[in-house]
């Protein structure tokens, strides 16, 4: 069984938000609800300055605080290492939203349950890739098996010494970044 993760190369991100929109479209989200956020980091001052765009989404933490605090057992990790929600068990109490240090969860407007990125596991199980991965015009994300040392994602992480966001939190995220 693979253990899925994503490598993100921020040096390629142009901040176009295509990944965010593709994700909203695939998940039927309203325009003001999103699973992907593109943060902008400004460095320096005119005339010597630079911008970095940092796409962020659920990290599918191996040690997931959201899963631990859920009082109904609605949050679980799939055999492929993807953190998912039993939609019929979620009561919308928002404990998981408070517990997530990355602030990537939200309450769905229609169903009143907690939702977030799910690595488009519906597409992945049919041999595809998450919508954010395939839509990006500059191929910022690489999706694949973190346990296979020869996968593109594993090689990219090793070659670029890519790191997760806030590893000090101890949640063991499965999204790794090459930062500019």
Residues binding ligand SF4 (CB under 6 A): 13-19, 38, 53, 55, 58-61, 64-66, 83, 100, 102, 104-105, 116, 135-136, 138, 140, 171
Give the integer Cα–Cα distance in Å for 164 and 180: 14
Nearer to ligand SF4 among residue 138 and residue 159 (C-beta): 138
DSSP, collapsed to helix, strand or coil, labels residue 88 as coil
Q: State the minimum distance, in angstroms, from the CB of residue 42 to ligand SF4.
A: 16
How many CB atoms sit inside 10 A of residue 109's CB?
Answer: 11
Residue number with CB closer to ligand SF4 (98 or 122): 98
Shortest spacing between CB 101 and ligand SF4, in angstroms: 6
Q: How far is CA 78 from CA 3, 11, 151, in A?
A: 10, 31, 20
CA-nearest of 63, 60, 74 to 2 is 60
Q: Least distance in Å: CB of 21 to ligand SF4?
A: 8
CB of 35 to ligand SF4, least distance (A): 10
Task: Give me the least distance between CB of 34 and ligand SF4, in Å please.
Answer: 11
Q: Decide whether 2 or 169 has the Cβ nearer to ligand SF4.
A: 169
Instruction: Write the CB contacts of 99 (distance below 8 Å, at least 6 apart in sequence).
Output: 65, 66, 68, 69
Residue closer to ligand SF4 by CB (options 40, 158) is 40
> Contact, 27 vs 155, CB < 8 A?
no
Distances (CA, A) of 114 to 10, 16, 53, 90, 100: 28, 27, 26, 7, 12
């Amino acid at each position: 069984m693979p253990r899925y993760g994503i490598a993100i190369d921020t040096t390629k991100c142009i901040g176009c938000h295509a990944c965010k929109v593709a994700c909203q479209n695939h998940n039927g989200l309203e325009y003001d609800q999103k699973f992907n956020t593109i943060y902008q980091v400004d460095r320096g001052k005119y005339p010597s300055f630079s911008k970095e765009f940092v796409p962020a989404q659920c990290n599918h933490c191996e040690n997931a605080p959201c899963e631990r605090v859920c009082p109904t057992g609605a949050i679980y990790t799939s055999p492929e290492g993807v953190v998912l929600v039993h939609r019929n068990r979620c009561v919308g109490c928002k404990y998981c939203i408070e517990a997530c240090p990355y602030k990537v969860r939200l309450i769905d407007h229609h169903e009143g349950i907690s939702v977030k990125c799910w690595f488009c596991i519906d597409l992945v199980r049919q041999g595809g890739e998450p919508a954010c991965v395939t839509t990006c015009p500059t191929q910022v994300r690489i999706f694949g098996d973190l346990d296979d040392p020869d996968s593109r994602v594993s090689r990219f992480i090793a070659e670029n010494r890519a790191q997760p966001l806030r590893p000090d939190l101890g949640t063991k995220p499965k999204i790794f970044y090459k930062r500019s």
